[in-house]
Amino acid sequence: MLAQLKRSIEAHVSKNAFCIEDEFYTYQYLQEKTAAIIEAINAIGGSRMGRVGIVTTNSISTYASILACWFTGNAYVPLSPTFPPQRNAFAVEQAGIDVVLGPENGPEVAGAVAESLRFINTSSLHTAGAVLPDGGGRGNDDLLYILFTSGSTGTPKGVPINYGNVVSFLDSYEQLGFGSGSEDRFLQMFDLTFDVSVASYLVPLLKGACVYTVSSEGIKYMNVVKILRKYQITFASIVPSIINYLKPYFKEISLPDLKYCVLTAEASGLTNVKLWAGCMPNGKIVNLYGPTEATIWCTGYFFDDAAPKSYNEMLAIGQPFKNVRAFILDESGRQVKEGEKGELCIESPQLTPGYLNNKEKNQQSFFQLEGGRLYKTGDLCYRDGDGDILYCGRIDHQVKIQGFRIELSEIEVASREFTGGNCVAVVYKNKFSVDNICLFLERYSGETNKLKKQLEGRLPYYMIPTQLTTIEELPHNTSGKVDRVTLSKMASANEN
């Protein structure tokens, strides 16, 4: 992969590699910037560091720092300036980092551990005419990056991804047949602490294409549509919530240059997808699914407007990738029959070697079956007669209240039919520690009592939310997913 990346950079030196905040940077500039950071890394230890922190900003220095880590044999760990310093400090300590790359104010991001770190200010580094090293000699077990995802216990989980994982992913990804080339223009809207960002910059760089990043300033969904239009983006990966926010503007949006739009990171609502398809008359919509532990994406479904597949309005996640085997198992670990629901478990060379410094979680999440190593995704799914996988929600979102098993997505579907807006159902504990359902309604101007009456005519009594709360904007985490933990805490606080 690194040899291919080096060849691509050298073959396209005069072409644009990035467009950041409306400023273009050529592959030549990217190469020279990367080479300068490599020189600085080598001056203080080179590949012996193993893991390097990168303060992630929307800048060419950040992307060059990632490449510099790879070409010096190091893995990178993103440290976001938007995170609390103590969270970044946790990542630094867990990953064993002693060197951080970033802008001049970078040390502030690391919080209390900053004084123990060596810091390289990358913003001013540049070496004209420099070339990249070969980047050879990387083994499949060599780490490329470590991402820290939210943990159910409140402690982030470190997910290391190695060279073999990424190579396997790229091999599978090519089999999807997108056929992208150096003339394509790719959107990169994701925070670099989220793994879809890796595909959003790595795939285009391997092809000599240009990456158009989305500013963190202002309203993100408006920034996205602005870039899609202004730069005639041909390939975009976005979170479905972006579509929901843009829905009032669909009649004004036309994206004839968009060839493919990948929906990812959360469930895709069928109604919104159908409407969005009308905004890209010459393009295709693809729903790609994958947990961070399985390296970005591992299943895919090409949306068919004539006969779309969905469950409770959630678009199918489709077929496993080339290098992926998908098992749907019951609570006893046995494979379920076609059409029966169970937990989706993944076997693949794309699987992380295991959580960082977390033996207990590894024992809970990974297991052996039929001679292979599988990962429990925690996602409730079933497989139809065509072999397509239908996503039914999180297993921990399938709850039991008053003895009845409830899928919260069913409440959300019914509510959206009556309101036409975005909503999320969560479980919270009232002041007596009894589980109840709260429905959060985003920017809803109607009467909640009237909505509750409508739901009573549609759903059984035990599925009727005890709280209906209007909220200006649903909270999201860094991966773009709705932050249900925060919503549950808000609901409990409202009860007290």
- 193: in domain: yes
Where does a domain end: 89, 105, 138? Answer: 138
Same domain, 127 and 202: no
Q: Give me the pLDDT at residue 487, please.
A: 94
Residue ranges in the chain whose pLDDT is less than 70: 136, 150-154, 397-398, 400, 402-405, 432-433, 478-480, 496
Same domain, 236 and 344: yes
pLDDT tens across 24-74, in order? 999 999 999 999 999 999 999 877 779 999 999 999 999 999 999 999 999
Q: Give me the pLDDT at residue 433, please.
A: 65
Where does a domain end: 347, 375, 395? Answer: 395
Contact call for residues 145 and 76 (beta carbons, < 8 A)? yes
Q: Give me the pLDDT at residue 479, please.
A: 64
- 4: in domain: no
Q: Give me the pLDDT at residue 397, please.
A: 64
Same domain, 371 and 278: yes
- 129: in domain: yes
Same domain, 215 and 329: yes
Contact call for residues 237 and 199 (beta carbons, < 8 A)? yes
Contacts of 400 (CB under 8 A, 6+ apart): 406
Residue 340 belongs to domain spanning = 162-395
Same domain, 211 and 84: no
Where does a domain end: 356, 371, 395? Answer: 395
- 151: in domain: no
Same domain, 300 and 331: yes
Total number of domains in the chain? 3
Give the integer Cα–Cα distance in Å for 223 and 318: 30
Q: Give me the pLDDT at residue 241, please.
A: 82
Give the CA count within 13 Å in the CB-facing half-sphere of 479: 21
Same domain, 219 and 257: yes
Q: Give me the pLDDT at residue 432, please.
A: 62
Same domain, 313 and 447: no
Same domain, 278 and 227: yes
- 293: in domain: yes
Same domain, 54 and 127: yes
Contact call for residues 14 and 27 (beta carbons, < 8 A)? yes
- 78: in domain: yes
Contacts of 19 (CB under 8 A, 6+ apart): 25, 210, 211, 212, 213, 231
Give the integer Cα–Cα distance in Å for 214 and 191: 9
- 153: in domain: no
pLDDT tens across 389-433, in order? 999 988 876 676 765 667 788 898 889 889 988 899 898 877 766
Contact call for residues 140 and 132 (beta carbons, < 8 A)? no
Same domain, 443 and 473: yes
**CATH code, domain carrying 48:** 3.40.50.980
- 202: in domain: yes
Q: Give me the pLDDT at residue 305, please.
A: 92
